[in-house]
Structure formats: C-alpha cells, structure tokens
Structure 1
C-alpha cells in the first residue's frame, strides 16, 4: 500500500471511529444512567428485591433463548468475530445484554457493567464495518468499538484505548489501531458526559517517598498481592464457569436453582453490601468509611458465583472494588496511606485480572491524577508479571 492509500484508509477509519464514538457514547449514557437509578433503588429496597433474584435469572435466560440464543456467548462471541469464526454479531445482543444486566443489578446480583459497554461497542462497530466493507474489519473495527464502549462508560479514553488494544492482540501493541481507537474513545467519553453520565475521579493528595528500603519492599509486596488477587479472580471465574457448565448443563436449572443460595447469602451477609457493582465499597475506601478485612474476598466470591451461573454484567467495576477494599487493608498493614494503596489496588487488580499493563496505568492517571504515576507503573507492572497469562477473557487475543 502506498503512502497516499494508507493515509486515505486511516482517514476513513478515523471518520468511522468518530461516528461509532457518538452512537456508542449515547447508548452508554442511557445504559449507565438507568443502571445508576436501578442500583440506588435496589440499595433502598433490597429486602423486597433479593428474594426474586432466581426468577430474574430465569427471565434473563428465557429472553436470550427467545430472541437470540447465540448472544449468550457474550464476549466470547466478540472474540470469535475478531477471529473470523463467526460472520456477524447479532444486533439483538445490545438490548439483550443491557436489559439482562439491568435485571441482574435490580434484583441484587454481584456484577459489573464494562462487559455490556464493550459488547455494545464491538457489536455496533463490527456491523458498521461489514456494512461498508472495511478491510481488516474483524480486528480493527472491534478495537474501535471496544475502546468506544469502555471510554464512554468510564470516561477514561486513554485507558479505554489501551484496554481494547491489549485485550484483543496478544504479545504486541497494535499501533495501527491506536489513532482510530483514541478517536472513538474520546468521542464516546465526550458524548456520554454531555448526556449526563458522570465520571468517577478522586483527588489523590497522599504520596510516599521511594527512597527508603522499607517503603520499596512494601510497594513490591503490594504489587505481588494485587497480582495474585487478580490471578485468583480470573482463575476461579474460569474454573467455576466450566464446572457449572459441566455439572448443570441446563441453563434454566443452573441459574434458577443456584441463584437461591446466592440470594440467601447476599441477603444474610451485611444486608446486600456485596450486591451490584461494588461502588459502595469504592466510595467507602476513598472517603474513610468502614472497610472490613474480608470485604475484598467476599466481593470476589459473590461476583464469581453470580457470573458463573449465568447472570449478565461484567467484571471490571467489581475488580475496582476488590482492589480498593484490599488496598485499604494492606495500607494499614504496611504503614502506607490507605487511600493511596486503595488507588493502587483499584488499578492493579484490574490490570492483573484482565492481563493488561498499560490500561491500568492509564486508569491510575485518569482517575487519580499524575502525582503517583511512578507508583502506578511499578505496582501495575509487578501485578501484571505475577499474573502470568491468565485473563477474565478466556477467549481473548487474536
């Protein structure tokens, strides 16, 4: 390809990225604002809603079976499209995953939201790429869509860009996708914010001096523990999903029956403290409220169980809450500022569980500012190395 043709093609992708960003950002705003309203309603009325979690699970599964059974694959379907194992991602996936996630959160399941946003972005961008017969559609258009989905929901376009690139291509940075992905992520973030979706950010005043041996050792320990936590999450989720699929092959029976003990436990343990996204734990960690020493492990277990039996949502926001609550506890143990350790955990556990390196560092920059960037680089790099190659996206990497 000559230089002129390359520039023309890049311009086409840039224009398409802006279009995708506007559409996905608008959908993210709708999805995110409804989800926040649902979460607030559930927090107040959980005692009336949690008992119906098994019924909600049956409704979600029936919905998929009635309208698009293939969409049950979720993120796996996205990666299959990128690997050209499937021709198209059903557009029905978008409303199904949105409604399914709303129901999961309304009735108290422990799940995230980024999986929905990423699937929305990937589905739309893939469909547009097929419509206009873009070359390299399966890979590049998926990166554009995933960056838009993540960026529009969390309004962290830099981390969204690198998240999409790192998740979809193994062992290398796909620089060809960088500019279009940045365009789609920034456009989606601007669009969703303009439509009333707020960004989460924390003014981080705490810092530490890395000149002392004791402090350096503590920071290294933080990276190792956060890395092991992310590895535990991704390993356990993969194994439990496989176990549930083998032992209870009927999806209706699996979600309907197993949601009964899930609802009972969520109700009994601190009155739905571990339901939903986990933003209550994140807020507690950064405002000096009570964080229990077991918050991180219970949120981890409840999220894994909720997703393994078939409820809809994502993993990233629960990972943020797991890292935050664990960081607060470790800060006290190591004599470091708890809020700073919470911020490091917020980024590093996410990075470990998703098997990404640059994305969590960018999360640190965009959510907590640049004052502690050296710490974020060190801790996230150690966590990434400790994890190895495990990821919550079992079908990832093209």
Structure 2
C-alpha cells in the first residue's frame, strides 16, 4: 500500500483514539474544576502533598516522562527515538491531581503529548518511514483538536510549533484528517467546545482604530514574551536553587497554596476558565487579573506540577484584552477575543494557529483584526517560546 494511504488510515485511527482519550481527560477535568471551585478551602491545604504524590508517581513508574513536551520536540528533531507509553497515564493523572488541589496550570500539553505518543507508537508498529515527523505532527494535531475542537488551529499549531518559522507541509493532509476525526469524536463523547459569538465587528477605516490595533498587538506580544521568558527562567532558577524535586515541589507549594487561598478565594486556581467566562459575559475583571494569573501559573509549573500553559494563556490574554478594551474605548469583548488568540500565539511563537483560533472560536467577522493583532504579537515576541526545545529556522 502506498505510504500516503497508510498515513491517512493511521490518521483516522489516531483521530478516534486520541479524541476518545481527550474526551475522557477533558470531562474528568471539568468535573474536577467544578468540585474544586466549591471545596477549594478544603483542598488547597493539601497542594504540597499532591505535589509530592505527582513527583513520586513519575520517579516510581517512569522518570523519563517528566520531559513532557520536550520529549515530543526531541523526537521530531531526531534527537531521540522513543516516547515512553507510560507518559500517557502519568501526565493525565498528574494533571488531574494538580487541578484537584488548586494548582494554576493548563491542559493542552497533556492532549498534545497523548496524541504524539500514540501516533509515534503506531508509526513504529507499522514500520513507516519518516514516522517520527509526519505521524508525530498528526498526533499532536489530533490531541489539540480533540481537546479544544478547533481542527484548523490544531493542524497549523502542530505543523509550525516544533520548528518556528517552518511549516511541516508534508503532514498537512493526515494532520487535518486526524484533527477533524478527533474533534468529532470528542464532541460525540460529550466534551463541550468553547465558542463565543462576538456582538460587533471592528472597522479599520480610521487612524485611531488602526492605532489601537497596533497598541493591542504590541501589548499582547509583550505579554506572551514575558510569560515565555519568565517561565524558562523560573524553571532554571528553581532547579538550581532546590535541586531535589521532592523538596522543590513540597516546600514551594506551601506558600503557593497560601497565596492562592488568600488572593480572592481561589480565583487564580486551575485553568483560568473563570477569568475567560468573566471576560466574555461582562462580569468583573480586575486590572491585576492577568498578571496574577501569569505569576501563579509560572510558579505552579516551575516547581514540577503537571498540566500545560495554553488555557492559562487564553485567560491571561482575555482578561488583559477586556481591560485594554475599556482603556482604548473599544468593545471589551472583541479585545478580550483578540487577546485570547494573540497572547497564546506570542507565547508559543506560532503565527497561523492563533489566527485560526480566532476564526474557529469567535467566527469570521473580525478575521482582519485577528490577523493583524496576531502578526504584530508574533513579531514583538522576538522568537521566544514557552517550549524551550523549540527549534528556530536560521536564514
């Protein structure tokens, strides 16, 4: 059978498998988030013990899986040959524990790692040539699409995130197919999709509006850059200052838990979906929401808790956008949507994925503002990324 047909058949299989696992992971995480929101006063005090449990699980069953997204990037760049299957249950359980006890973290890293691990394993079993590239991208796309149900954004995210400035075009068709299959599968199994219909569309016919777009692009780009650089420095500093992983997560999570409890009653725990909801429903957004969510997410991830960064980036961008919209005299909901996409794009050092996020989550009426703001944020970011293993094209 022609290799391309094998890739497409495997893409369908990967889409079904990853979409089903994403649905399980996402629905459990939704329940955990709701439960923790009600009982956070009883759960946050146990955050240090939860951190110790996560660390023990990884060191007991597969320490190599601690590499997380770095393992995926290294495999795609031919720096390693295998991704341990143990990564899948470990990263799922570790993320559930992190969120149950109030850590500020995301979820996309889990989905992408699950998709990449499954697709890489299937590629090896089928002895496909170049499976570490095409099938790995296919699995990453399926993981992202199954969780967020944005198949176009997922496809381009997977194609452009490993090597900044380069698109893995050979993987386009299987990645797109796997993304749609994963999206339909997770939706069929009851995982809801986040989507917002924006009430206004922005006309760019005035200089003042164009000036506001430029300011938004710069602000969102700098925010994503700040998150990426601070996360890398925090992880490095924590490892140097407290080399023992048990001491690092056990000791630092004590003040982390206290701070999360004291700052507005657990407002900055978990994914940050509460801030996203507030941003798009005219509820209270404080001027400091975005920076505190940024700080707590960086601290949570830098000491060893599991999860991802993208959903917190969505919440940081949305809350900052809602604030800037009020200051600039623009629709806060539209600016929140622009920040939702652009801060994610800046921090991940991707260009096309955030533009498609804007299309698939907020509709096509404001595609030109989304494209302009995301392009500006991408340029302002200056090639920084939350993924330290990300490679850059050198011209």
Asked if Structure 1 and Structure 2 have the same fold, meaning a TM-score greater than 0.5 normalized by the shorter chain, the answer is yes
RMSD over aligned CA atoms reads 0.9
| Match for residue 28 of structure 2 among 27, 34, 50 | 34
| Match for residue 50 of structure 1 among 34, 44, 51 | 44
- In the alignment, the residues of structure 1 paired with residue 379 and residue 235 of structure 2 have an alpha-carbon distance, to the nearest angstrom, of 25
In the other structure, the counterpart of 1:317 is 311
Whether 1:251 aligns to 2:258 is no
Whether 1:149 aligns to 2:143 is yes
Conserved? CA contact 1:207–1:337, under 8 Å:
no
Give matches, 1:110-189, under 5 Å: 110-189=104-183
Give CA-to-partner distance per residue, 1:54-82, whole Å, 9 cap, x none.
00000000000110000011111111222
1:169 is displaced (CA, Å) by: 2.8
In the other structure, the counterpart of 2:79 is 85
1:220 is displaced (CA, Å) by: 0.5
1:87 is displaced (CA, Å) by: 2.0
Bigger CA drift: 217-226 or 131-140? 131-140
In the other structure, the counterpart of 1:385 is 379
| Match for residue 277 of structure 1 among 266, 271, 276 | 271
1:133 is displaced (CA, Å) by: 1.1
Q: What's the secondary structure of 2:307's corresponding residue?
A: coil
- In the alignment, the residues of structure 1 paired with residue 223 and residue 164 of structure 2 have an alpha-carbon distance, to the nearest angstrom, of 22
In the other structure, the counterpart of 1:327 is 321
Give CA-to-partner distance per residue, 1:216-267, whole Å, 9 cap, x none.
1011000000000000000000000000011111000000000001000000
In the other structure, the counterpart of 1:193 is 187
Whether 1:337 aligns to 2:331 is yes
In the other structure, the counterpart of 2:293 is 299
1:88 is displaced (CA, Å) by: 1.0
Q: What's the secondary structure of 1:394's corresponding residue?
A: coil
1:172 is displaced (CA, Å) by: 2.1
Whether 1:372 aligns to 2:389 is no
Conserved? CA contact 1:231–1:391, under 8 Å:
yes
In the other structure, the counterpart of 1:363 is 357
Gaps of 5+ in 2: none
Give CA-to-partner distance per residue, 1:152-180, whole Å, 9 cap, x none.
00000000000000112332222111111
Whether 1:232 aligns to 2:193 is no
Give CA-to-partner distance per residue, 1:127-156, whole Å, 9 cap, x none.
111111111111111100000000000000
- In the alignment, the residues of structure 2 paired with residue 125 and residue 34 of structure 1 have an alpha-carbon distance, to the nearest angstrom, of 23
| Match for residue 261 of structure 1 among 234, 255, 263 | 255
| Match for residue 308 of structure 1 among 302, 309, 314 | 302
Conserved? CA contact 1:347–1:360, under 8 Å:
yes
In the other structure, the counterpart of 2:280 is 286
- In the alignment, the residues of structure 2 paired with residue 359 and residue 236 of structure 1 have an alpha-carbon distance, to the nearest angstrom, of 23
- In the alignment, the residues of structure 2 paired with residue 291 and residue 165 of structure 1 have an alpha-carbon distance, to the nearest angstrom, of 34
In the other structure, the counterpart of 2:212 is 218
Whether 1:22 aligns to 2:38 is no
In the other structure, the counterpart of 2:65 is 71
Tell me the TM-score normalised to structure 2 length. 0.98
Tell me the TM-score normalised to structure 1 length. 0.97
In the other structure, the counterpart of 2:344 is 350
1:332 is displaced (CA, Å) by: 0.6
Bigger CA drift: 168-177 or 225-234? 168-177
- In the alignment, the residues of structure 1 paired with residue 3 and residue 131 of structure 2 have an alpha-carbon distance, to the nearest angstrom, of 12
Question: What is the number of equivalent residue pairs in this alignment?
Answer: 392
Gaps of 5+ in 1: none
Q: What's the secondary structure of 1:137's corresponding residue?
A: coil
- In the alignment, the residues of structure 2 paired with residue 85 and residue 236 of structure 1 have an alpha-carbon distance, to the nearest angstrom, of 26
1:86 is displaced (CA, Å) by: 2.1
